[in-house]
Chain A
Amino acid sequence: MNARPAGEAISLAALAPEIIVALAAVAILLLGSWLPRRRQYLSRSLAMAAVIAALILSVARAAQPAEVTAAATFTIDSSLSVARIAVLAGTAVVLVLAGGRFSGHKRESEFYVLLLLGSLGTLVLAGASDLLVLGAGYLLASIPLYALVGFAKGSTDTEAMLKYYLMGALFGVLLLVGITVLFGAAGSTSYADLARALPGAPAGAAAVGLLAVAAGLLFKAGAVPAHFWVPDAIDGTTGPAAAFISTIPKIGALIALFRLSSLPGVPVAWPLMLAVLAALTMTLGNLAAFFQNTVLRLLAYSTISQVGYLLMVAAAFGHSTLALPSLLFYLLGYTFTNLGAFAIVCALPALRTLDDYRGLFRTHRWLALSLIVCLLGLVGTPPTAVFVGKLTAFTAAVDAGLGWLVVLALINSVASVFYYLRWIYPLFQPVRGQPSADDGGAGLPGEAAPSDGSAPTTSHRQGAALGAPSSARVALALGILSLLLGLFANPVLAFLQVYPFP
């Protein structure tokens, strides 16, 4: 460890996970140019090895005390540890999903490079304690993802990429403007200096600067008012890319927003603004999700509403000691649960609409059960991980005096049940066009007519065939993980309370 408290030099040991990911991205870029097409899987193995190595180092580093490094521009604390674990584990999941989708693709290794760079950018966002590093992290977490969204070069992906890029460019410029204004107002970009200078700086300039920086982060999180790209990008692109952009960048953005919100000079109305944004985000996301018929669009709007709940915790920062542990736990649980739902979509690439999922429980029982666990998990049904996240989030918000927001969040949770159930219900329905067991069985409660009872069992539909068995296995694992993290939440919560933000 670096002995100097200011951490002038770059501590290689403390930054090892980020360095490994960066080196792996470069290595795979070079490797991919030389590898023959049928050997491209080697690049995936290398990416996976790098991510897992970084993950192990992150876990090992998690229990050590917090420190700042690289001239106080990067903070390594429990927040970053959780971000590392969630981002790297999530990237590993997406690597498996991408392997199922792009195995043998002529630009396969490029996909992995873009993934690694995107997750590296997210980590930089999460750890940044200097506005310039934050700006660099924003760009690193954005530009590879534009390419990722347009990877398949189809008409919908290209459109999705363009929308994502235009919105990203706009909010990126806003973020840079905010950094400039804050630098002008406070004379420094380091958070430590900002904390000293901002309270004395011109209030208007500080507010504008902070707001502009927050706008860029809200874009990364996919929150109102920067949410317009989310449905188009997620619905237009491929499953693995959608899984990544809907989950991973949020982690970095929200932790960065937390660091920004804990600066002493934030305007008085800051928590209220976050609360209003949270209310708008969860409500708009939910309302828009109501009558979606394609699963990716439904998931897209559901991720918007989830960001609303996360922003609710952000609004409670500084007013409740539970806020930060809650945010981190929620992010962890959300990552696994949301990726689990996307993994199922990736495992069954032929199914695009809710109606295509009819009869899935009959053909793929465990996959259907896993989908139910993940979707009910997103609702916040116990005992899943998101339930504990929501429980702590609600508690923190009530503690912070945001009772009205909690009531709104509860109403939104109930409303969200409606559209998740629109997806769950068809799983048990007979496939259209087949003799239906329910027509005969429905008339007889608890006593179906023996002749009809065993009707549509044998014929597997072609559409429901597993596109990617590895994705299905990941989906099952994530469903179980989501349950386990909910049932055994205590060690994680205890860790988050023992090592709070310094």
Chain B
Amino acid sequence: MLSEVTVLSELPVLSMVVFLPVLVGIGLLLVPEARRRLVAGIWITTTAVDLALIVALWIGYAAGGGRSTGAGAVAGASSGTGAIAYETNLAWMPTLGSGYHVGVDGLSLPLAAMTALLFLACAIYSVRQDHRPRTHAALFLFLQTVSLGLFVSLDLILFFVFFDLSIVGMYFIIAVWGHGNAARSALQFFLYTFIGSLALLLGFIVLYLASDPHTFDIVELIRQDPLKNDPLVGGLALLTISIGLAVKTPTVPFHTWLPPAHTDAPAPGSVILAGVLLKMGAFGFVRIAIPILPGPWHSYAMVFVIVGVVSVLYGALVAMAQTNFKRMVAYTSVNHMGYIILGLGAAGLAAGSNPQAANLAVTGAVTQMVSHGLLTGALFLLAGVLFARGHSYEMTEYGGLAGTAPRFAALTAVAVFGSLGLPGLSGFIAEFQIFTGSLGAAPIPTALALLGILITAALLLRMLAQVFLGPERQPKSEASERDAPAAETPYDLRPRELLSVAPLLVLAVVIGVFPRFLLDLIEPAARALIALVAAGTQ
């Protein structure tokens, strides 16, 4: 108990990391008339500080610091690895069994770090934001708090609060700074994901009522395994929670909101939507659905395997049919998130019989979340660059850009190769682990999913050839003539664009070549998760 006291007496670093951005954002709104440069400077500084803090947390965590050894540690973490660290547990609504309970472990820390990096990239990219820069920055800072908060939540209500607020924040980003049919896309996004979040809430309420004493605390619920002896209610709870998470992930058939939302969102909005918000759905599976409902997860794992494979294939095939660059990337997201669901489903199948393979699949799935965030984030930023130059996402209108814009072409190529899973880049590490881990438990679905990689490779390479090779072509729309003349705009990346995209890709290469620093963090947590499923199925 003494050690708990000392942990609590330390500074709540994690809460500072989470709430620093929103506090700065409110401060920005209070300043009467801030200049654009000042706003951009404050925004970049805040996100950079936040990222530095998370890196410090990571280093501390890897060194074994910040861990609470008390009740907070999830079962199976007695070895000291994969445990929850930097924990804060305050009574928030004790009458409802809900607390302000936050902490990080090997599953959430990589995602939190990726989130902070993506927001920094967006801040750098938006230096020249002219349309309401102050509100724009404040809203992104708000979203950063919400996203980080979600990944560190250890309480269902807290998780739900952040889950819902992320929808609200992203709605405004699409509706106000979007283009094309932004109002409609934003509304569709809000309605769809709100259905998801309420389904999630219903599942949470079922878990709450099943637990004794009633609680919304994730760690406590994992310990209780409340629906162990009630497979029917357990299955229903898993169904509602999974629908909620699947809408946000998104998997087929709940993905229809994603392409319009991406097409009409501004570039930084797309980055956060694809890089961070989609991960909230996938993360919900590893944080809530699997550990709290291990038995039902094991029983229905095949459903998730199939949904994953369908998402992989359907996403890839539809992406192949797209002529719009952003829509294509959006559908590859459906494809990539499908691998995650496949891996998690297969882990559920294999948990009891082959924990080694299950570990591999879960580790791969979490790595895929990080990798997809980095690569798709980079691709959407590059899509924004393309649109800023040619005012069009239609790939057929471009050609031979490698000549005029070599840096743009090179970065896009790296992102594309990473996305299609070339060895040496982060996508390979993730997908290789998922496939290796899943093959034993679900051989046929995994083999089918491998086809997805082939299709994605084909369509991404075709896009590269179309846009960057061949005779040079640029769209000659009236929009580009009305605005700044195309001749004065250099086609290649400007420094701020380079600075925002390059770090993401550098990190993708680092993970691809030296993955141990990441895997060492994820593996113990994945092992703890699999141990829970194995214990819950007996």
> Interface on A for B, CB 8 Å cutoff?
325, 361, 365, 376, 381-383, 387-388, 391-392, 394-395, 398-399, 406-407, 410-411, 413-414, 417-418, 421, 425, 428, 437-438, 440-450, 453-454, 489-490, 493-494, 497
Contact = CB atoms under 8 A, between A and B. Distances in A.
A413 B198 contact: yes
B157 A391 contact: yes
B17 to A, nearest CB: 19
A494 B201 CA distance: 22
A410 B198 contact: yes
Of all A-B residue pairs in the complex, the 4 with the closest CB atoms, nearest first, are A453-B130, A445-B266, A448-B130, A382-B161
B19 interface: no
Contacts of A497: 95
Contacts of A447: 128-130, 384, 388
A29 to B, nearest CB: 43
Contacts of A383: 161, 165
20 contacts: A381-B168, A382-B160, A383-B161, A391-B96, A394-B202, A395-B209, A398-B205, A398-B206, A410-B202, A414-B191, A414-B195, A418-B191, A428-B176, A442-B180, A445-B266, A446-B388, A449-B484, A454-B130, A490-B91, A490-B96
Contacts of B125: 446
Given A383-B161, A449-B483, A490-B91, 15 more contacts: A388-B96, A391-B157, A410-B195, A413-B198, A414-B191, A421-B187, A437-B131, A442-B178, A442-B180, A443-B391, A445-B266, A446-B268, A447-B388, A448-B129, A490-B96
Given A391-B157, A406-B202, A442 B179 contact: yes
Contact of B95 (A361, A406, A421, A494): A494
B513 interface: no
Interface of B: 29, 91-96, 125-126, 128-131, 135, 157, 160-161, 164-165, 168, 171-172, 175-180, 182-183, 186-187, 190-191, 194-195, 198-199, 201-202, 205-206, 208-209, 265-269, 384, 387-388, 391, 479, 483-484
B130 to A, nearest CB: 3
Contacts of B391: 443-444
Kindly name the residue among A411, A428, A445, A490 whose own CB sees the greatest number of chain B CB atoms within 10 A: A445
B201 A394 contact: yes
Nearest to A487: B92
A414 B194 CA distance: 6
Contacts of B130: 441, 447-450, 453-454
A232 B267 CA distance: 45
B177 A446 contact: yes
B198 A414 contact: yes
Nearest to A366: B29
Nearest to A413: B198
B267 A381 contact: no
Contacts of B182: 442
Contacts of A490: 91-96
A438 B264 CA distance: 13
A255 B201 CA distance: 27
Given A395-B209, A398-B206, A398-B209, A446 B95 contact: no
A447 B198 CA distance: 35
Contacts of B198: 410, 413-414
A118 B164 CA distance: 38
Kindly name the residue among B126, B176, B201 whose own CB sees the greatest number of chain A CB atoms within 10 A: B201
B384 A446 contact: yes
Contacts of A382: 157, 160-161, 164-165
Contacts of B175: 425, 428
A445 B95 contact: no
Contacts of A376: 168
A489 B208 CA distance: 18
A286 to B, nearest CB: 13
Contacts of A449: 130, 483-484
A446 B165 contact: no
B29 A365 contact: yes
A262 B194 CA distance: 35
A443 B157 contact: no
A445 B130 CA distance: 10
A391 B160 CA distance: 11
Nearest to B163: A382
Contacts of B190: 417, 421
B2 to A, nearest CB: 28
Contact of B164 (A381, A388, A407, A453): A381
A410 B201 contact: yes
B202 A444 contact: no
Contacts of A441: 130-131, 177
Contacts of A454: 130
Given A381-B168, A414-B195, A418-B187, A445 B267 contact: yes
A493 B96 contact: yes
Contacts of A410: 195, 198-199, 201-202
Nearest to A428: B176
A255 B429 CA distance: 61
Contacts of A443: 179, 391, 479, 483
A444 B168 contact: no
A316 to B, nearest CB: 12
Kindly name the residue among A387, A418, A446, A497 whose own CB sees the greatest number of chain B CB atoms within 10 A: A446
B230 to A, nearest CB: 14
Kindly name the residue among B29, B94, B175, B265 whose own CB sees the greatest number of chain A CB atoms within 10 A: B175
Contacts of B92: 490
Nearest to B167: A381
A493 B483 contact: no
B517 to A, nearest CB: 32
A407 B243 CA distance: 13
A444 B483 contact: yes
A444 B205 contact: no
Nearest to B135: A361
Given A392-B96, A406-B202, A445 B179 contact: yes
A394 B240 CA distance: 14
A493 B157 CA distance: 16
B189 to A, nearest CB: 11
Nearest to A376: B168
A309 B487 CA distance: 60
Given A410-B199, A417-B190, A493-B93, A446 B266 contact: yes
Contacts of B194: 413-414, 417
A490 B96 CA distance: 8
A202 to B, nearest CB: 38
Contacts of A493: 93, 95-96
A365 B28 CA distance: 13
Kindly name the residue among A325, A382, A406, A493 whose own CB sees the greatest number of chain B CB atoms within 10 A: A382
Given A381-B168, A421-B187, A437-B131, A399 B209 contact: yes
B452 to A, nearest CB: 29
B248 to A, nearest CB: 14
Contacts of B179: 442-445
Nearest to A392: B96
A406 B204 CA distance: 13
A361 B131 CA distance: 14
Contacts of A361: 135
B10 to A, nearest CB: 24
A399 B131 CA distance: 49
Contacts of A399: 209
A444 B387 contact: yes
A17 to B, nearest CB: 26
A195 B265 CA distance: 61
A195 B399 CA distance: 84
A188 B125 CA distance: 76
Contacts of B191: 414, 417-418
A421 B184 CA distance: 11
B404 to A, nearest CB: 19
A405 B257 CA distance: 27
A493 B95 CA distance: 7
Kindly name the residue among B96, B187, B206, B483 whose own CB sees the greatest number of chain A CB atoms within 10 A: B96
Contacts of A395: 96, 205, 208-209
